[in-house]
Structure 1
Amino acid sequence: MRLSLTDKVETALPLPFMSLFTTIAPITVTCNKRLAPYLELEVREMGFDIEETFITGLRLRGTLNDCIRLNLNLRCASQVLFSLDRFEARHPDDIYENLVDLVWEDLLPEPGYFSVTSNVQHETINNSMYANLRVKDAIVDRLRNKRGIRPETGAELRGAVIHLFWKQDYAEVFLDTSGDSLARHGYRKIPGRAPMLEALAASTILASRWDRVSPFINPMCGSGTLAIEAALIATNSRPGLFRLNYAFMHLVGYDENVYLEERGRLEEQIVEVPGLKIMATDYSDQAISNARKNARAAGVEDLIEFGLCDFADTAVPDTEQGVMIINPEYGERLGDIRELETTYARIGDFMKQKCRGYYGYVFTGNMELAKKIGLKASRRIEFYNSTIDCRLLEYELYAGRKADKPGNPEEDIPAGDADSTL
């Protein structure tokens, strides 16, 4: 049984499909868990009205041309999904029967190439690949019947991408307009050891109190992701500058001129920040070399001052305000716990002695180690680093004696707690 979408769009699947790029329909923008508040901030700043925010994304309404703009601008997102249809499905055959009726010949170019992804939570499915297969079969059978040739399909996300969401008896099919995840911003050529995902790095910066003009200090910089994202945020340089292929480019009705205009706006909206000081240090010569190369690829090497030193020897500018953010090892993947206890205690000493007047931030997945810092956190902001439950600890490092007061971090600040539907 097909569900009515008349309260959301004019039709479930607007006709003709040539107008789909200018037809309003539901859009779901997904992100990694706990990044939704920062994704919401970005989307609102772009002028969109948000209908719903949940733990792994948000919903709004717009066109495929809006999806182009979202793909090029968002730092915290993973995928931008344009809804085609939703229906009731109790069995994999229901997926096939509903999708074989959609006019895929007006969506996918000839001969075309497409991939299928899915998020499936249904009792009849113990391997999501089977659900993907039923989607693929429906599309292939439809196109072969209409065109007389079989389209090419594969797992590589280099062409059009169809996404199935199926939970209990509710199914929805989307055009994934992104393809490869937006969470990887495309400039990082050398990831280094245990790198932070670019979308996570951007989110932690957006969660901080950095004003985008005062000093940004990043000891233990590793491959440089935090410092690079800070430079990109400060100059309003968007991820779309580093990527040339999106799934929306492989749909019938795609107008390259719309994309080129949007990409041109990315260049126009870059700003200069006179006197901007971003510092990244690491004790590893290889890490600094990698970070420089990544910064060069992102076009911000000249905005970052790199230093080869122990984190405690970082030369923090003496200013009235600024941000210091550090992402030490936390014993899950790297480092010896006993050595790390000493490191965390030294981080506390470094903040007290050299970062007065700043906001200090420690990103960690080990709260036992965090106790060794010996300072009281004013906020504990929840994140995940892959599957590791992490916190961004904020410390107000007063210029006077208040910074020396020991204590335990305050209660966690959750990054949204709504149930995820995608």
Structure 2
Amino acid sequence: MADFHKPSTISITCPKMISPFLKKEVEDLGFTVQHQRYAGVELKGSLHDCMKLNLCLSTAHRVHYLLKTFTANNADELHKELVTIPWEDYIDKHGYVSITSFIKNKTINNTQFANLKVKDAIVDRIREKTGSRPDSGSDLNKTVVFLFWKGTEASIYLDTSGESISRRGYRVRNHTAPMQETLASTIIQASKWKVGQHFINPMCGSGTLAIEAALMALGRPAGLLRPNYGIKHILGFDVGEWNSLRSDLKHSANKDFKGKIIATDIDNRAIKAAQKNAQTAGVDHLIEFHRCDFQDTPIPEGDGVVVFNPPYGERIGHDQELYDLYKTIGDFFKQECSGKWGYVFTGNFDLAKKVGLRTSQRIELYNSTIECRLLEYELY
């Protein structure tokens, strides 16, 4: 069985431009980040540490635990190195394993071929040592192995997350194109919002921003909502330690908080979807939902933020309806939101100019592959 307390390199991935926020999250948990990448961070830790990282991180995608780094010029050399790893200590001979990878090697032009070589090495080793072999496939709900192979340098990891951490498990209903939970969490952390202040989200869609804000206000790790992680299928996983950690995190969360969280949308289907998602997340009683035009969103007295994630279209400079929308958002900021911080997240820089207010910050983020900006306005 795997030694869950053996230290190794832990590589945590995230979307582009989010690594500074991920670094802070990791350090707030008491870890030391040794290296920050464009889309991730590295630190030293154990599989036991990976439990906490999976449950507590909100800006990460996956937590990878390094098994071995080696040189491989081609697929045969890759297989030769991989069969030396004691896979029988990590993967149940009657279990299930899936392979994911990042490949940039001149001898490989098909990622699936490299994944097949990894799978073959794993099952060959386990069959030789135990007489049986695990099943394999593309499902990420059991043991997951990740290969990073760039040039001649290869690293093989246990993916302790399996499905991306961004899939919290609360979003059971979607309306139009929902914002990824990881991005929503980053936007909130990038804003000047503090727990105890108001968080107002007009045009809320499926409610992701409001739900992530409620979870932060409670100090409740979003990972507690999800029942399954890749680490639970690694041999040596201690259910008692896992349940104890979950219990400690759950009981350390707040029961309530000051400040209001308000989510509005003119579309009744969006409000229903947001309410259902909030209910699944266990925070529906903490969020005020209103079906109304964003200009009628109630703005309470006191400090807080107003965050918009408006549509930004595909035809830059050709959509008069969106021009009018962004101008109206600016008017709403000026007329109704004085004393707050205003934010607009958009991937259309031409439309952003129509808000008509001077930005105090323009924070670069990505929505999948779309370069975006989180525009910050101080609303005097």
TM-score, normalization: structure 1?
Answer: 0.88
1:129 to 102, 112, 116: 112
> What is residue 15 of structure 2 aligned with on the other side?
32
What is aligned with 2:322? 340
Aligned-residue offset at 1:102? 1.2
Q: Identify the match of residue 390 of structure 1 among 363, 368, 372.
A: 372
Q: Is the 8 A contact 2:218 2:257 kept in 1?
A: no
| Structure 2 counterpart of 1:223 | 206
d(CA) in 1 for partners of 2:170, 2:318? 31
Question: Residue in 2 aligned with 1:325?
Answer: 307
8 Å contact kept, 2:93–2:132:
no
Q: Does 1:250 align with 2:217?
A: no
Within 5 Å, give how 1:19-418 maps onto structure 2: 20-319=3-302, 321-332=303-314, 337-398=319-380
> Any idea what SS the aligned residue of 1:21 has?
coil
SS in 2 for 1:392: strand
Matched pairs, number: 380
Match of 1:420 in 2: none
Q: Structure 1 segments of 4 or more deviating over 6 A? A: 333-336
Change (3 A) 1:122 1:333: farther
Instruction: Tell me how large the CA RMSD over aligned residues is.
Output: 1.4
Given that residues 317 and 350 in structure 2 are in contact (C-alpha distance below 8 angstroms), is that contact kept between their aligned partners in structure 1?
Answer: no
Q: Work out the CA distance in 1 between the residues paired with 2:31 and 2:134.
A: 36
Q: Structure 2: where are the runs of 5+ without partners? A: none
Length-normalised TM-score, structure 2 = 0.98
Of residues 144-153 and 27-36 in structure 1, the stretch that sits farther from structure 2 once superposed is 144-153
Q: Percent identity?
A: 49
Task: Output the CA distance in 2 between the equivalents of 1:45 and 1:133.
Answer: 39
8 Å CA contact retained: 2:317, 2:351: no
Counterparts of 2:257 and 2:166 in 1: how far apart (Å)? Answer: 29
**Residue pair 1:240, 1:263 contacting (<8 A) in 2 also:** no
Confirm or deny: 8 A CA contact 1:164 1:174 kept in the other structure. Answer: yes
Instruction: Say whether the 8 Å CA contact 2:92–2:134 is kept in structure 1.
Output: no
Q: Secondary structure at the match of 1:294?
A: helix
Conserved in 2, the CA contact under 8 Å of 1:25 and 1:82?
yes
Give the Cα separation in 2 of the matches to 1:125 and 1:27. 26
Contact 1:276 1:303 in 2 (8 A): no
Q: Which runs of 5+ in 1 are unaligned?
A: 1-16, 399-422
3-state SS of paired residue (1:22): coil
Report the CA distance between 1:237 and its aligned residue: 1.1
Whichever residue aligns with residue 66 of structure 2, its letter is: S
Contact in 1 for aligned 2:195/2:258 (Cα 8 Å): no
